[in-house]
Structure 1
């Protein structure tokens, strides 16, 4: 089952919807208090109903076109997340890229790649998250910025995996490369994060994520300037260990998003520019699309 959050075209009220092929059926129309997937997830759990079976009761009545909602800019992040966290150096390609930035042998990145404890860092608050299709923003003090495509977990407060979505951890490579202690500034800034467009619910019907591919395409002026793909099978960690360390002495709220790291890194001479168009695709989930704008002057 896939769900989205969106603004109703007429009322502009937040809706929770189930996506079936290209059609979107409003859950909120039938259960007005459900505008976020977590209450529905808890209800299905309490009733012992699988997501796919529970979805069937809502696939009735009028529907909307998912493509139209996307084109009209009405999609919202598929879960209201108060906190977005991320993991780093979970692929060999990421370790190599971080070492290239710092130009240090036996670096902290080599050590964390091999260590039992993973690298985890805070990425965004809800106010910093950009909806699918909306503009991510560059930092004013960075000259080397890249998207980081990541399979992202949506978690309950108890650490259960509610489902998966596509994440973009927009990052400044030069700021982190100057000094790893600058990581928060390289990662946390206005319009630095997006995830979506849908939430793929965790169920027995979903294939093993290790078989999924993550694809990144960047267009500039209608021309593809970077395109690559990585298998999630190259992911070095496990969901269980990342979640375990995230929740160690650290309560998390329902709907917390945990990005699992990137295995796709553009060449060292590449940096994003205003007007670039980023598409991240995981076939089982969908395509997260975000254009790029420059720094916001009013900040």
Structure 2
């Protein structure tokens, strides 16, 4: 995403020869921030805003990395009716998705450590042992260490529908693997973003559009505050946390991602995240490379 197309406020991680730095874009100008994202999210919301507004040192052009430093990424499932219906259709245990959709307690699961998050322009992964793979374009919520909603970030919760559909207990394998989580290009603070947000997905293959779709966060059955309350209910996050809010765009059963596809996730007013697709891992069922004992 080009700087001129960024929102009025945008917090980005800069990858420099001297390591990572953080910059805030205010009014078309990038300025270096004192400290990292974890330092910012350790502050109350008003104090974090004041620190950003106090940034004065102009930042030179930089390569953009994934907008996390010490934060864990978690995700919520079955928050859209469309997601519930598709999960029920693909699963051998369909009723559990209907029950969690209407339950008071949401489905929350661990997605990625900060070091494993793919940034804008990086390659996201599809598992070598999966036959049906899709991106899940989502709005990411960024929380302070105290559980206050700090901002928003585009996210891609890469998923194996074949693995999860085979057995819901395989969810960690369907969701947590190399290059399965992408975030970026920037965090837009809550005071600079509206909502609800329109979310768009475009998948490019061989120079053409293989799939596209749109949804709105107005269709989410949970509020950001409710999801955050459950995430922080019994787990401390001293560096803050990112929570993906589920997807309302699900490609048809006839579609699966392939290597070299390009995935674009657009969150209106927040940003556009673009990543190429690659195959990761191996299929343990393939014994062609085994040697006789």
TM bucket (normalised to shorter chain) is: 0.7 to 0.9
Counterparts of 1:51-70 in structure 2 under 5 Å? 51=49, 55-58=52-55, 61=58, 63-64=60-61, 69=62
Given candidates 81, 84, 91, the residue that maps to 1:95 is 84
The Cα of 1:230 is off from its aligned counterpart by 0.4
* Unmatched 5+ stretches in structure 1: none
Instruction: Determine whether 1:5 maps to 2:2.
Output: no
The separation in 1 between residues aligned to 2:156 and 2:143, in whole angstroms, is 17
The separation in 2 between residues aligned to 1:263 and 1:23, in whole angstroms, is 34
**What is the TM-score of this pair, normalised by structure 2?**
0.86
The separation in 1 between residues aligned to 2:30 and 2:48, in whole angstroms, is 19
Instruction: Determine whether 1:206 maps to 2:203.
Output: no
The separation in 1 between residues aligned to 2:43 and 2:109, in whole angstroms, is 31
1:178 equivalent in structure 2: 166
Instruction: Determine whether 1:135 maps to 2:132.
Output: no
1:39 equivalent in structure 2: 39
The alignment partner of 1:182 has SS state of helix
The Cα of 1:143 is off from its aligned counterpart by 0.6
Question: Do 1:137 and 1:190's aligned partners in 2 also have CA atoms closer than 8 Å?
Answer: yes
Instruction: Determine whether 1:230 maps to 2:230.
Output: no
* Unmatched 5+ stretches in structure 2: 1-8, 285-293
Question: Do 2:125 and 2:280's aligned partners in 1 also have CA atoms closer than 8 Å?
Answer: yes
Given candidates 1, 21, 25, the residue that maps to 1:19 is 25
1:249 equivalent in structure 2: 234
RMSD: 2.2
The separation in 1 between residues aligned to 2:27 and 2:202, in whole angstroms, is 23
Deviations 1:111-153 (A, max 9, x none): 1111111111111122321122101111111010000011011
Runs ≥4 in structure 1, deviation > 3 angstroms? 20-23, 40-45, 53-57, 59-63
The Cα of 1:170 is off from its aligned counterpart by 0.2
Question: Do 2:93 and 2:168's aligned partners in 1 also have CA atoms closer than 8 Å?
Answer: no
